[in-house]
Amino acid sequence: MMHSLITTAKLKDVDPEASFADVLARIADYPASRPGQLLPWNWTPKATALPAAA
């Protein structure tokens, strides 16, 4: 199963390590009704806050 997820991530030009790390960090607080959004073919990195311009 992991090989399939890694291969799919690579085919979708997604860094498997980055996506899995992000998914593991977010999954505890993620709505159980939307697990498909965390799969490699739907995953998007969580937006990071940009520092305010000084």
The first and second tokens of residue 32, run together, are 């159980």
pLDDT at 53 over 70: no
Residue 19 has pLDDT above 50, yes or no: yes
Structural domain spans, the chain: 2-38
Is 6 buried (19+), middle (13-18) or exposed (0-12) by CB count in 10 A?
middle
Looking at the predicted structure, is the pLDDT value of residue 4 above 70? yes
pLDDT tens readout for residues 26-47: 888 888 888 888 887 888 877 5
- Report d(CA 3, CA 12) in Å as an integer: 14
